[in-house]
Amino acid sequence: MSALLELSQVGVAIGKVALLDRISLSVDRRQILGLVGESGSGKSLTAMAALGLLPLIGGRVTEGCVRFDGQDMAAMTDGQRRALRGRRIGFVTQNPMTALDPVQRIGEQVDVVSRLHLGLSRSAASARTLDLLTQLRIPEAAAVADAFPHQLSGGMKQRIVIAMALAGEPDLIIADEPTTALDVTVQAQIIQILGRLVRDRGLALLLITHDMGVVAQVCDRVAVLYAGRLAEEGPVGPIFAAPAHPYTAALIGCIPQEGMARGSLRGIPGAVPSALAFPPGCRFHPRCPRATDLCRATVPPLLARGEGRAACHHPGHGAGAVP
């Protein structure tokens, strides 16, 4: 049986610029897939492709296929795709203020999702909203439902966006850096809430983050993106124990360790290249301590490595191998 969400060999372009190159990943019920990579790697575009939202930013799928519950999203009508979002796929954005209407009460904004997608009456929807807010451990749910967004903290607003994503009783949640704007304590609470929803409701979660620490905390599998290509993908335990790809190893090396002084966090030297100037061969080669002439000339194929897959000509020497 196929996974709930499946991207096979998906290419994405905006105008003439190819931004994603043959991305394959899948996420199933009761599973959290972490999609990770530095800013500019292509994480949000992957989410937009999965949501069928690329046309909003002038983008399109150029090759490959996105399937939800076995159905090819390209074969659906706009109306069918719209019905899928909200009803079966919930979306949590990085900035809650873009998802919330500043002049409408919180309760009404959550109600409208279950009225639209589940056909609930006004009173049934507002009872359900209070129930959802309570489940998300929002204190004084009734008062919060009566409030306007500006009266709530950032962490509380993000819980409301999660409530909206859940209100249609979706099977899949796509959360694009849901905690990036929040402080560390609130981040941990939101991540815990998402993890619990997956366990209690059997949801599938595609969790986009640039933080390998978050992946280590809650994800079952991880997909590492670099410059629009998949660098490595597989189960979290084995990959963290022995990453095959130097970029994965470097991202793991960036997780701040307990007791480490602030500022001693090891960044990865250099930056993700622009899509207008992707380097030939392996796109990571200008930053890679293992790069050889082969890497500079030839694109590394994505091959089975350990329990996962990696795209590297010189894979795997364990987590400590990359400076």
Ligand X SMILES: Nc1ncnc2c1ncn2[C@@H]1O[C@H](COP(=O)(O)OP(=O)(O)O)[C@@H](O)[C@H]1O
Sign of the torsion angle spanned by Cα atoms 310, 211, 7, 25: positive
Paired tokens of 113: 């999702």
**Which residue's CB is nearer to Mg ion, number 59 or number 107?**
59
Contact of 148 with 102, CB cutoff 8 Å: yes
Paired tokens of 219: 């994800």
Q: Does 59 bind ligand SF4 (CB under 6 A)?
A: no
CB 93, min distance to ligand X, A: 11
Q: Which of positions 258-287 make contact with ligand SF4 (CB under 6 A)? A: 282, 284-285
Residue 275 interacts, among Mg ion, ligand SF4, ligand X, none and using kind-specific CB cut-offs from 5 to 8 Å, with ligand X
Binding site for ligand X (CB under 6 A): 14, 19, 37, 39-45, 57, 274-275
Query: What residues contact 108, with CB distance under 8 A and at least 6 apart?
Result: none
CB 11, min distance to ligand SF4, A: 20
Q: Give the separation between CA 235 and CA 215, rounded to whole angstroms.
A: 11
Q: Give the separation between CA 64 and CA 53, rounded to whole angstroms.
A: 16
- Dihedral of the CA atoms 43, 51, 23, 284 (nearest 10)? -10
CB 224, min distance to Mg ion, A: 15
**Which x/- pattern, by CB under 6 A, does the window 229-248 give for ligand SF4?**
----------------xx--
CB 125, min distance to ligand X, A: 33
CB 247, min distance to ligand SF4, A: 6
Q: Does 288 bind ligand SF4 (CB under 6 A)?
A: yes
Q: How many CA atoms within 13 Å lie on the side-chain side of 40?
A: 9
Q: Give the separation between CA 141 and CA 19, rounded to whole angstroms.
A: 42
CB 227, min distance to ligand SF4, A: 11
Paired tokens of 236: 């979290």
- 3-state secondary structure (DSSP) of residue 223: strand
* Residue 181 φ/ψ, nearest 5 degrees: -85, 0
Of the candidate residues 291, 305, 308, 309, the single one contacting ligand SF4 (CB under 6 A): 291
3-state class percentages of the chain: helix first, strand second, coil last, to nearest 5: 40, 25, 35
Of the candidate residues 8, 24, 44, 95, the single one contacting Mg ion (CB under 5 A): 44
**Which residue's CB is nearer to ligand SF4, number 210 or number 245?**
245
Q: Does 317 bind ligand SF4 (CB under 6 A)?
A: no
CB 182, min distance to ligand X, A: 17
Q: Does 227 bind ligand SF4 (CB under 6 A)?
A: no
Q: Give the separation between CA 293 and CA 310, rounded to whole angstroms.
A: 19
Amino acid identity, position 82:
R
Residues in a beta bridge with 108: none
Candidate segments 23-31, 90-98, 150-158, 288-296, binder of ligand SF4 by CB under 6 A? 288-296
Residue 290 interacts, among ligand X, Mg ion, ligand SF4, none and using kind-specific CB cut-offs from 5 to 8 Å, with ligand SF4
- 3-state secondary structure (DSSP) of residue 173: strand
Q: Does 180 bind Mg ion (CB under 5 A)?
A: no
- Which residues of the shown chain bind ligand SF4 in the complex (CB under 6 A)? 245-246, 282, 284-285, 288, 290-291, 295, 300, 312-314
- Which residues of the shown chain bind Mg ion in the complex (CB under 5 A)? 43-44
